[in-house]
Chain A
Amino acid sequence: MNPSEFKFSEEHEWVNSTNNGEFTIGITDFAAGTLGDVVFVELPEVGSEIKQFEKFGEIESVKAVSDLFAPISGTILKKNENLTSEPELVNQDAYGDGWLITIAPKDLTELDSLMSSQDYGKFTESQSH
Chain B
Amino acid sequence: MTLLKTPLNKTHIESGARMVPFAGWDMPVQYSGIIEEVKAVRNACGLFDVSHMGRIDIQGSAASDFLNKTLSVDVNKLKPNRAKYGVICNIDGGIIDDCIVYKFDSDHFLLVPNASNKTIVIDWLNQHKPKSNVSMIDITTQHAMIALQGPKGMQTLNDQVQSDMSLLKMFNFTQEAFCGTDVMIARTGYTGEDGVELFVPESKAAHVWNILVDSGAKPCGLGSRDLLRLEAGLLLHGNDMNTKINPFEAGLEKFVNCDKDDYLAGPALRKIRSEGPEKKLVGFYVDGNRAARPGYTINHGATQVGYITSGTYSPTLNRNIALGYVLTELIDNNKNLKCDIRGQFTDIVITKLPFYSR
> What is A's interface to B at a CB cutoff of 8 Å?
33, 36-37, 39-40, 42, 58, 60-65, 88, 91
Bound CA–CA A27/B295 (angstroms): 27
Within 8 A of A (CB), among B256-309: 289-291, 293
Bound CA–CA A39/B314 (angstroms): 10
Within 8 A of A (CB), among B188-233: 223, 227
Q: Is the beta-carbon distance between B223 and A63 smaller than 8 angstroms?
A: yes
Q: Is the beta-carbon distance between B290 and A33 smaller than 8 angstroms?
A: no
- Neighbouring A residues of B29 by C-beta, 8 Å: 36, 63
Q: Is the beta-carbon distance between A39 and B33 smaller than 8 angstroms?
A: no
A62-B289 contact given A37-B33, A37-B35, CB 8 Å threshold? no
Which residue on chain A has the smallest CB distance to residue B221?
A36
> What is B's interface to A at a CB cutoff of 8 Å?
18, 29-30, 33-36, 223, 227, 289-291, 293, 312-313, 315, 342
- Neighbouring B residues of A42 by C-beta, 8 Å: 289-290
Which residue on chain B has the smallest CB distance to residue A34?
B18
Which residue on chain A has the smallest CB distance to residue B291?
A60
Bound CA–CA A65/B291 (angstroms): 8
The secondary structure that dominates the B interface is mixed
- Neighbouring B residues of A39 by C-beta, 8 Å: 289, 291, 313
Q: Is the beta-carbon distance between B312 and A62 smaller than 8 angstroms?
A: yes
Minimal beta-carbon separation of A111 from chain B (angstroms): 30
Partner of A36, one of B33, B289, B290, B291: B33
Minimal beta-carbon separation of B251 from chain A (angstroms): 24
Bound CA–CA A35/B262 (angstroms): 48
Q: Is the beta-carbon distance between A36 and B223 smaller than 8 angstroms?
A: yes
Q: Is the beta-carbon distance between A60 and B290 smaller than 8 angstroms?
A: yes
Minimal beta-carbon separation of B94 from chain A (angstroms): 28
Which residue on chain A has the smallest CB distance to residue B313?
A39
Bound CA–CA A87/B114 (angstroms): 34
Q: Most chain-B Cβ atoms within 10 A of its Cβ — which of A36, A40, A62?
A: A62
Q: Is the beta-carbon distance between A62 and B290 smaller than 8 angstroms?
A: no
A62-B34 contact given A39-B313, A40-B313, CB 8 Å threshold? yes
Minimal beta-carbon separation of B54 from chain A (angstroms): 24
Q: Is the beta-carbon distance between B293 and A37 smaller than 8 angstroms?
A: no
- Neighbouring A residues of B33 by C-beta, 8 Å: 36-37, 91
- Neighbouring A residues of B290 by C-beta, 8 Å: 40, 42, 58, 60, 65
Q: Is the beta-carbon distance between B18 and A62 smaller than 8 angstroms?
A: no
- Neighbouring A residues of B18 by C-beta, 8 Å: 33
Q: Is the beta-carbon distance between A36 and B293 smaller than 8 angstroms?
A: no
Q: Is the beta-carbon distance between B293 and A62 smaller than 8 angstroms?
A: no
Bound CA–CA A40/B223 (angstroms): 17
Q: Is the beta-carbon distance between B34 and A64 smaller than 8 angstroms?
A: no
Q: Which 4 pairs across A and B sit closest by C-beta, in order of nearness? A: A39-B313, A40-B289, A37-B35, A62-B34
Bound CA–CA A60/B227 (angstroms): 15
Bound CA–CA A37/B313 (angstroms): 10
Q: Is the beta-carbon distance between A36 and B34 smaller than 8 angstroms?
A: yes
- Neighbouring B residues of A61 by C-beta, 8 Å: 34
Q: Is the beta-carbon distance between A65 and B293 smaller than 8 angstroms?
A: yes
- Neighbouring B residues of A36 by C-beta, 8 Å: 29-30, 33-34, 223
Bound CA–CA A63/B315 (angstroms): 12
Minimal beta-carbon separation of A29 from chain B (angstroms): 13
Bound CA–CA A43/B36 (angstroms): 26
Bound CA–CA A62/B315 (angstroms): 9
Bound CA–CA A61/B33 (angstroms): 11
Q: Is the beta-carbon distance between A63 and B34 smaller than 8 angstroms?
A: yes
- Neighbouring B residues of A33 by C-beta, 8 Å: 18
Minimal beta-carbon separation of B226 from chain A (angstroms): 8
- Neighbouring B residues of A58 by C-beta, 8 Å: 290, 342
Q: Is the beta-carbon distance between B289 and A37 smaller than 8 angstroms?
A: no
Minimal beta-carbon separation of B276 from chain A (angstroms): 35
Bound CA–CA A37/B144 (angstroms): 28
Bound CA–CA A58/B293 (angstroms): 14
Bound CA–CA A63/B30 (angstroms): 11
- Neighbouring A residues of B30 by C-beta, 8 Å: 36
Bound CA–CA A39/B312 (angstroms): 10
Bound CA–CA A62/B312 (angstroms): 6
Bound CA–CA A61/B223 (angstroms): 11
